[in-house]
């Protein structure tokens, strides 16, 4: 009987040890929910986590992005060509009118994600056209990927034989996120599980309850969206309001990434913030206009007496900037966790 009891005790001790290990692991697991309106840069942040906190992109993985990069480049020049008609802009040279027709025909016939020489030659000629450049300068009046100028300016490099996409090429590539993408990584003795939620706005109510109890929400808003025809800035504010004050996230830490600060810096020199916020009459500088946008978000917090929202200006394509900001976010999470345990 004694032997049986000691076996039971041993099993009990092992179970207790296992439960303690599981509890310790749970205590060190941080669930992050990435939210934001379309084109805000959520997927780019996820890619940065892979670069900064995992092993980055292997040669094979980089090569897999080639077709996406070629597709993005073609979609961009086609969007500009279509906008030439909408905005009634003339081509600088009559030959480019023919090139535009050839482009549309080729786009229908080539295999998606390829860049045959005939196509790249047409794109290179079009991109040099003064009318196309004038249309590109008015990109806020139609929908154009942020990466358009980056790829089109560098197309000769992208079409070299043996081309391997760089990390920056990968970061700037765009694929619509559908469903929920989870990324796991370790940092400062914590296990991170980051969830990037794609899909339609109408689907939000179907999944939002799944994330009750997440450690932290990172909400990403594009500063540069203020001058767009499809006013994503107001959509972003509306979404932030619904998330920030949602009953499921009453006690959840929220970090606001005001993203695309690099694009915003260039835009604010040309387009006044009052086109998005008519009541704004302050200086049209990066600092003042950026701060005004930040306040619009922070003022939506109905629980500001008990809940602080941390905000950062970010550039998701800048690895060093994201590393620095995410380090600060991790410190906030550690501090909040200690506070919850009564240790801070």
**Which residues are 193's β-sheet partners?**
31, 184
Catalytic residue among 99, 169, 196, 336: 196
Give per-residue burial for 124-148: e unless 16+ CB within 10 Å, then b: ebbbebebbeebbeebbebebbbbb
Could you give the CA distance from residue 46 to residue 184 in angstroms, rounded to a whole number? Answer: 10
196 is known as an active-site residue: yes
Q: Which residue has the tokens 């006044």?
A: 272
- What is the CB-side half-sphere exposure of residue 20 using CA atoms within 13 A? 6
Q: Which of 39, 99, 227, 336 is catalytic?
A: 39
Compute the distance between CA of residue 300 and CA of residue 238 in angstroms, rounded to an integer.
9
Q: What does residue 303 show for φ and ψ, rounded to 5 degrees?
A: -110, 35
**Residue 335 φ then ψ, to 5°:** -60, -45
Catalytic residue among 66, 96, 129, 174: 174
Per the annotation, the verdict on 235 as an active-site residue is no
Specify whether 200 is catalytic: yes
Q: What is the DSSP letter of 111?
A: P
Point out the catalytic residue in the list 108, 160, 189, 200. 200
Q: Residues within the annotated binding site for GTP?
A: 39-44, 146-147, 171-177, 196-200, 259-262, 316
Active site residue 44: yes
Annotated binding site: 39-44, 146-147, 171-177, 196-200, 259-262, 316
Annotated binding site for Mg(2+): 43, 177
Residues serving a catalytic function are: 39, 44, 174, 196, 200
């Amino acid at each position: 009987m004694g032997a049986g009891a000691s076996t039971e005790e041993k099993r009990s001790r092992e179970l207790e040890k296992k439960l303690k290990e599981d509890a310790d692991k749970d205590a060190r697991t941080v669930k992050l929910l990435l939210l934001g309106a379309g084109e805000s840069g959520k997927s780019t942040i996820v890619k940065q986590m892979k670069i900064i906190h995992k092993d980055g992109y292997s040669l094979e993985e980089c090569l897999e992005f080639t077709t996406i990069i070629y597709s993005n480049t073609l979609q961009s020049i086609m969007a500009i060509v279509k906008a030439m008609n909408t905005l009634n802009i003339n081509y600088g040279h009559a030959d480019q009118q023919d090139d535009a027709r050839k482009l549309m025909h080729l786009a229908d016939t080539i295999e998606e994600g390829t860049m045959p020489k005939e196509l790249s030659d047409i794109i290179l000629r079009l991109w040099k056209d003064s009318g196309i450049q004038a249309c590109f300068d008015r990109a806020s009046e139609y929908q154009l990927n942020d990466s358009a100028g980056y790829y089109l300016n560098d197309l000769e490099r992208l079409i070299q034989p043996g081309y391997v996409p760089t990390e920056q090429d990968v970061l700037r590539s765009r694929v619509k996120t559908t469903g929920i993408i989870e990324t796991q990584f370790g940092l400062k003795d914590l296990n991170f599980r980051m969830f990037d939620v794609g899909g339609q706005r109408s689907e939000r109510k179907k999944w939002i309850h799944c994330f009750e109890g997440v450690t932290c929400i990172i909400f990403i808003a594009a500063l540069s969206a203020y001058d767009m025809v499809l006013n994503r800035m107001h959509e972003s504010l509306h979404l932030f309001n619904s998330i920030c004050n949602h009953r499921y996230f009453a006690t959840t830490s929220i970090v606001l990434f005001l993203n695309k600060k690099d694009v915003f810096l260039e835009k604010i020199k040309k387009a006044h913030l009052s086109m998005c916020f008519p009541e704004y009459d302050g200086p049209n500088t990066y600092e003042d206009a950026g701060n005004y946008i930040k306040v619009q978000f922070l003022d939506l917090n109905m629980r500001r007496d008990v809940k602080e929202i941390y905000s950062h200006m970010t550039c998701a394509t800048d690895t060093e900037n994201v590393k620095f900001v995410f380090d600060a976010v991790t410190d906030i999470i550690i501090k909040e966790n200690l506070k919850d345990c009564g240790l801070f």
